[in-house]
Amino acid sequence: MPTPIVVPSLGNVNRQLKVSLWLTRAGEQVVSGDRVVELLMPGVTFDVESPCTGTVIACECQPGVEVEAGTVLGWIEPADVDEPELGS
């Protein structure tokens, strides 16, 4: 089941947030914690990290789109962690 890439809660910050740019593309593999999308607030940029290891399957919010905490930015198909590693 795909895992959403979600805008994290920024506490009490109530500023305009926009998608600045995607650091990955659909079809690319990512590792949990990789930077996948950059968000922009007036005067500040920050990166949203991949919530899991897998393949980016959709980038739903394009650059310039306004977002808020909880907005789904895209989706990752998680890697099958049940497969044994080679050489095991």
Instruction: List the domain boundaries for the chain.
Output: 3-78
For the segment 17-48, what is each residue's pLDDT rounded down to a tens digit?
999 999 999 999 999 999 999 999 888 899 99
Alpha-carbon span 59 to 31, nearest angstrom: 16
Alpha-carbon span 17 to 37, nearest angstrom: 13
Can you read off the two tokens belonging to residue 65? Answer: 């789109």
Q: What pTM, to 2 d.p., does this model score?
A: 0.84
C-beta neighbour count of 55 within 10 angstroms: 16
CATH class of 3-78: mainly beta
Least confident of 3-7, 30-34, 52-56, 84-88: 84-88
Alpha-carbon span 6 to 54, nearest angstrom: 15
